[in-house]
């Protein structure tokens, strides 16, 4: 039987205990990371094969990487999906964007020319761009305050697991060339449909429900005077709220986060989508060796998240700062 929003609120009162239901929902929400990273790496693992199959120039290869889940497609999806998630709820967005994702994946699977591959890749990028921030917001909203880092860490496990599975499949299917790449993408289609079906049993975020005025509190006529719960305004885009978002400590936090993402993604984006391509096309590695070597980094990430980040991230601000400092230096 599905858990009600009242049950979610009761679960949220305990600031450290994680229920089985919250673990389950974190896994389902975190599958956005599996599908996002999996699609980036599926493209990466087969990029040299698709280039040869369709006769793509180096410029076209760069365009393909830029349009998909690794760059512009995801950015556009995040801008659209984040706002729609605030307007219509997390559940509605993270359910239906998976159907868009599945459609884009099918276009890639059956691509026989460059336009199909480009369009499919862009659609996948937009879909994961909408799904990831919406899903992460959901995890943050139903997580106990002293277990939020642990549950967020599980989404990073999914982010690493997606590429590992994709790279293993790509390695096994190396002898089949482009057909093997199509099969790798087909596996993402199956995972997306299964995840979509399982997510149908999830309820809406209780925090969003209260903030949107859909809860028990009656809304007022002034959109900027809507009731608040857990610090979330009824209209996050109201002018007074935007002024608060773009000033003081909140602005500093946003600038810091944006800086981290900017410089980290220069490395992560290059590694994620071009590592196998570089090893095979510009290096001396075979397709199988390039895929196997690229997989190693994600295995290390998964192990570190499980053994270090998840157990220690919720202990104190000091533990998080230490982990951040060590990670930044590395």
Q: What is the pLDDT of residues 220-241, one digit of tens each?
A: 444 444 444 444 445 555 566 6
Instruction: Tell whether the model's pLDDT for residue 117 goes beyond 60.
Output: yes
Q: Cα(first)–Cα(last) distance of the chain, in Å?
A: 46
Instruction: Tell whether the model's pLDDT for residue 271 goes beyond 70.
Output: yes
Q: Which residues are paired to 229 by β-bridges?
A: 232
pTM of the predicted protein model: 0.81
Distances in Å between the Cα of 194 and the Cα atoms of 178, 181, 188, 215 are 25, 21, 10, 30
Instruction: Tell whether the model's pLDDT for residue 10 goes beyond 50.
Output: no
Q: 80: how many CB neighbours lie within 10 A of its CB?
A: 15
| Main-chain dihedrals φ then ψ at residue 232, nearest 5 degrees | -105, 120
Q: Collapsing DSSP states into helix, strand and coil, what is residue 246?
A: coil
Per-residue buried b or exposed e for 214-229, using 16+ beta carbons within 10 Å of the residue's own CB: ebeeeeeeeeeebeeb
**Cβ atoms of residues 239 and 224 within 8 Å:** yes
């Amino acid at each position: 039987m599905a858990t009600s929003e009242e049950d979610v609120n009761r679960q949220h009162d305990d600031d450290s205990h994680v229920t089985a239901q919250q673990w389950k929902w974190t896994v389902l929400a975190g599958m956005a990371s599996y599908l996002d990273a999996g699609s980036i790496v599926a493209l990466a693992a087969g990029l040299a094969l698709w280039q040869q199959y369709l006769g793509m120039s180096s410029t076209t290869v760069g365009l393909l990487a830029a349009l998909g889940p690794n760059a512009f497609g995801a950015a556009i999806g995040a801008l659209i999906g984040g706002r729609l998630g605030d307007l219509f709820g997390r559940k509605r967005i993270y359910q239906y964007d998976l159907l868009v994702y599945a459609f884009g994946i099918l276009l890639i699977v059956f691509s026989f020319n460059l336009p199909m591959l480009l369009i499919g890749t862009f659609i996948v990028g937009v879909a994961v761009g909408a799904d990831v921030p919406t899903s992460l917001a959901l995890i943050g909203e139903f997580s106990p305050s002293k277990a939020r880092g642990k549950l967020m860490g599980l989404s990073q496990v999914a982010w690493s697991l997606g590429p590992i599975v994709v790279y293993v499949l790509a390695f096994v299917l190396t002898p089949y060339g482009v057909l093997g790449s199509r099969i790798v993408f087909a596996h993402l289609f199956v995972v997306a449909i299964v995840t979509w079906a399982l997510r149908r049993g999830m309820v809406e975020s209780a925090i969003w429900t209260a903030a949107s005025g859909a809860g028990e509190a009656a809304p007022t006529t002034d959109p900027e005077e809507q009731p608040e719960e857990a610090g979330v305004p009824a209209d996050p885009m109201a002018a007074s709220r935007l002024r608060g978002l773009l000033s003081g400590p909140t602005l500093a936090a946003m600038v810091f986060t944006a800086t981290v993402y900017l410089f980290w993604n220069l490395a992560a984006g290059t590694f994620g989508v071009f590592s196998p391509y570089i090893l095979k096309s510009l290096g001396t590695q075979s397709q199988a060796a390039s895929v196997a070597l690229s997989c190693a980094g994600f295995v290390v990430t998964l192990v570190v998240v499980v053994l270090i980040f998840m157990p220690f991230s919720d202990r104190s601000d000091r533990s998080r700062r230490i982990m951040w400092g060590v990670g930044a230096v590395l």
